[in-house]
């Protein structure tokens, strides 16, 4: 019941804030242009719209903060523990370019990483740990990968990917990303062929649970040349101690001198972390940049690259930014 109330409040406040801000600023600009012709009047209208915009945003931010406090009081079991594969895929991996989507930023960074490191084609073993229902990020490694393994906690998400791999009717269409990756790699004409090639490289979709000792299906413990984990550890870990332990486990899967790519939601100022998928509130451990760096140091990896991406106000996570950390395993 408390969750439903908190859900409702967060949603009402959040969307009201955005809709009101947009209506006010668009309405103000429209009124300024249509009703008053002079330059000064237009500027005044814009200024008023700006002030109102800020005021309304402030009011709703406060309401959201109150709802967030309620969220704080919820205990772990009251958060939703899974989400709809199809909804998540369309929301986070839309079939069009969208500069507001963190996953597309990450995909571009993955391609850049492979190009900057001049990794040899078809040579490496890659793991995406906590892939969710989407093979897209793993697809970003397909030109340099010899073999890709996808590990995912939820059976429904694993089945969703397997459906695509087996060309089953009604499976999700990821062709937009096949083309996008080919474009980013500078080989747009090869996209037709490469969807098949990408699928062929996806050797397995396996079960994982970072909170237990056997945290990946037997036979898939690595080592891998590259391990990617995107927004998974903050979903799975309930404390920073758990987070540190989880990072050690993931690093143990990486080859000596191999790479560990961690994409994290960084919350320097939030006491709570959550994200929303189709009206469900999912738990996130609030993690600071220093938590990541300290855990990495303890795990024996060296930071090579750090790329920030500021989170949009209407993004799915209540985070300030997302960061891609690229680490290399020392020994
Ligand atoms: C926000 S989704 C991220 C999915 C994908 N990596 C992405 O970036 O779009 C978080 C993922 O963590 C997975 N997860 C939750 N608990 C887990 C656990 N105990 N061990 C491993 N993964 C877990 C979820 O099933 C989900 O796929």
Check if 284 has its Cβ closer than 6 Å to any atom of ligand 1.
no
Closest-lying ligand 1 atom to the alpha carbon of residue 82: 25
Q: State the average pLDDT over residues 166-190.
A: 91
- Residue of 2, 69, 80, 77 lying closest to 271 (CA atoms): 69
Check if 295 has its Cβ closer than 6 Å to any atom of ligand 1.
no
Interior angle at CA 56, CA 54 and CA 62, nearest 5: 100
| Domain boundary residue, one of 38, 73, 108 | 73
Interior angle at CA 138, CA 156 and CA 297, nearest 5: 105
Q: Are residues 106 and 248 in the same domain?
A: yes
Tell whether the model's pLDDT for residue 1 goes beyond 50. Answer: no
Tell me what pLDDT residue 56 has. 73
Tell whether the model's pLDDT for residue 277 goes beyond 90. Answer: yes
Q: Are residues 130 and 163 in the same domain?
A: yes
What does pTM read for this prediction? Answer: 0.82
Q: Please, what sign has the CA dihedral across residues 100, 106, 111, 117?
A: positive
CA-nearest residue, atom 26 of ligand 1: 132
Q: Are residues 265 and 321 in the same domain?
A: yes
Check if 319 has its Cβ closer than 6 Å to any atom of ligand 1.
no
Confidence of residue 19 (pLDDT cuts 50, 70, 90): very low
Tell me what pLDDT residue 30 has. 43
Q: Are residues 114 and 204 in the same domain?
A: yes
Instruction: Return the SS3 of 271.
Output: coil
Q: State the average pLDDT over residues 293-317.
A: 95
> 215-267 pLDDT, tens per residue?
999 999 999 999 999 999 999 999 999 999 999 999 999 999 999 999 999 99
Q: At what angle do helices 175-184 and 102-116 cross, to 10 degrees?
A: 40
Closest-lying ligand 1 atom to the alpha carbon of residue 229: 6
| 60-69, 186-195, 263-272: range with lowest mean pLDDT | 60-69
Q: Are residues 52 and 124 in the same domain?
A: no
Check if 157 has its Cβ closer than 6 Å to any atom of ligand 1.
yes
Q: Are residues 22 and 133 in the same domain?
A: no
Q: Are residues 121 and 17 in the same domain?
A: no
Q: How many domains does the chain have?
A: 2
Confidence of residue 315 (pLDDT cuts 50, 70, 90): confident
Ligand 1 center to residue 132 CA distance, Å?
5
Tell me what pLDDT residue 87 has. 96
CA-nearest residue, atom 9 of ligand 1: 132
Q: Are residues 12 and 152 in the same domain?
A: no
Q: Are residues 144 and 233 in the same domain?
A: yes
Tell me what pLDDT residue 196 has. 92
Taking CA atoms, 212 is separated from 24, 59, 134, in Å, by 50, 43, 23
Check if 211 has its Cβ closer than 6 Å to any atom of ligand 1.
yes
Residue 49 is part of which domain span?
A: 2-73
Q: Are residues 16 and 94 in the same domain?
A: no
Check if 261 has its Cβ closer than 6 Å to any atom of ligand 1.
no
Instruction: Quote the tokens at residue 273.
Output: 């972390």
**270: domain CATH number?**
3.40.50.150
Tell me what pLDDT residue 10 has. 52
| Domain boundary residue, one of 73, 99, 123 | 73
Q: Are residues 46 and 169 in the same domain?
A: no
Q: Are residues 54 and 168 in the same domain?
A: no
Interior angle at CA 287, CA 281 and CA 291, nearest 5: 160
Confidence of residue 71 (pLDDT cuts 50, 70, 90): low
Check if 89 has its Cβ closer than 6 Å to any atom of ligand 1.
no
Closest-lying ligand 1 atom to the alpha carbon of residue 263: 8
CA-nearest residue, atom 1 of ligand 1: 231
Tell me what pLDDT residue 57 has. 76
Distance CA 11, CA 5 (A): 10
- DSSP string computed for 20-67: HHHHHHHHHHHHHHHH--SHHHHHHHHHHHHHHHHHHHHHHHHHHHHH
> 114-139 pLDDT, tens per residue?
999 999 999 999 999 999 999 999 99
| 57-71, 75-89, 149-163: range with lowest mean pLDDT | 57-71
- Residue of 316, 219, 296, 328 lying closest to 11 (CA atoms): 316
Closest-lying ligand 1 atom to the alpha carbon of residue 131: 6
In the chain, the largest separation of any two C-alpha atoms, in whole Å, equals 73
Phi, psi of 255 (to 5 degrees): -60, 155
CA-nearest residue, atom 16 of ligand 1: 236
Instruction: Return the SS3 of 134.
Output: coil
Ligand 1 center to residue 21 CA distance, Å?
33
Tell me what pLDDT residue 35 has. 45
The winner for highest mean pLDDT among 46-60, 70-84, 140-154 is 140-154
Instruction: Quote the tokens at residue 227.
Output: 């391990």
CA-nearest residue, atom 21 of ligand 1: 209
Q: Between 23 and 271, where is the model more confident? A: 271
Tell whether the model's pLDDT for residue 331 goes beyond 80. Answer: no
| Domain boundary residue, one of 51, 73, 95 | 73
Q: Between 269 and 44, where is the model more confident? A: 269
């Amino acid at each position: 019941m408390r969750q439903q109330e908190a859900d409702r409040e967060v949603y009402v406040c959040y969307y009201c804030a955005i809709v009101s801000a947009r209506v006010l600023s668009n309405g103000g600009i429209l009124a300024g242009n249509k009703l008053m012709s002079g330059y000064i009047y237009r500027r005044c209208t814009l200024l008023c719209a700006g002030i109102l915009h800020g005021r309304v945003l402030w009011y709703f931010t406060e309401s959201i903060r109150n709802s967030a406090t309620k969220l704080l009081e919820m205990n772990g079991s009251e958060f939703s523990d899974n989400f709809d594969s199809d909804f998540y895929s369309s929301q986070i991996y839309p079939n069009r370019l969208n500069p507001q989507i963190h996953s597309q930023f990450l995909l571009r960074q993955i391609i850049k990483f492979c190009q900057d490191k001049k990794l040899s084609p078809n040579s490496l073993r890659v793991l995406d740990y906590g892939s969710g229902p989407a093979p897209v990020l793993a697809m970003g490694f397909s030109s340099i990968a010899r073999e890709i393994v996808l590990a995912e906690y939820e059976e429904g998400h694993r089945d969703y990917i397997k459906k695509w791999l087996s060309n089953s009717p009604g499976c999700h269409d990821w062709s937009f990303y096949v083309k996008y990756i080919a474009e980013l790699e500078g080989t747009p004409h090869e996209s037709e062929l490469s969807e098949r090639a990408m699928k062929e490289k996806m050797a397995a979709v396996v079960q994982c649970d970072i909170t237990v000792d056997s945290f990946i299906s037997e036979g898939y413990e690595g080592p891998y040349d590259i391990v990617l984990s995107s927004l998974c550890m903050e979903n799975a870990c309930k404390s920073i101690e758990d987070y540190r332990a989880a990072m050690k486990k993931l690093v143990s899967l990486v080859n000596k001198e191999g790479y560990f790519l961690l994409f994290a939601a960084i919350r320097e100022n939030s006491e709570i972390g959550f994200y929303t998928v189709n009206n469900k509130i999912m738990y996130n451990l609030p993690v600071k940049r220093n938590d990541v760096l300290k855990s990495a140091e303890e795990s024996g990896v060296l930071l090579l690259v750090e790329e920030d991406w500021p989170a949009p106000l209407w993004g799915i996570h209540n985070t300030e930014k997302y960061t891609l950390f690229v680490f290399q395993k020392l020994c």
